[in-house]
Amino acid sequence: MSDPAPTPAIHDMGGLSRFRCTPVERDEAPPDAFGKKVDALRQVLAQKGYMTVDELRRGIEAIPEAEYFSLTYYERWLTSITTLLLEKGVVTAEELR
């Protein structure tokens, strides 16, 4: 007996009918100041060995649907980074308050 197919996560939108046949949005704008800070944080954490790009992606893909769609691109990154650092015990919830 085979395992049932996993339920797609919210980031896996390719098969969802509400996203079919819609124009591709091309965002050519460079990141704003917030985006640059989040990317700089990601780079420093990666260089220090605290996280990988794969872990960042896993964290983004784990964001619940309602929250995922309420966040901007770099807010998703920051949510993932925060979750990873909490999971690894690098920071505590109290330190983030």
Domains of the chain, earliest start first: 32-96 (1.10.472.20)
The per-residue pLDDT string of the chain (97 residues; one tens digit each, 9 = 90 and over) reads 566 666 666 666 655 666 556 666 777 778 999 999 999 999 999 999 999 999 999 999 999 988 999 999 999 999 999 999 999 999 999 999 8
What is the value of pTM for the model shown? 0.74
Report whether 73 contacts 21 (CB < 8 A): no
pLDDT of residue 30: 87
CA-CA distance, 79 to 75, in Å (whole number)? 6
What distance lies between CA 41 and its chain's CA centroid?
Answer: 14
CA 18 from centroid of its chain's CA atoms: 21
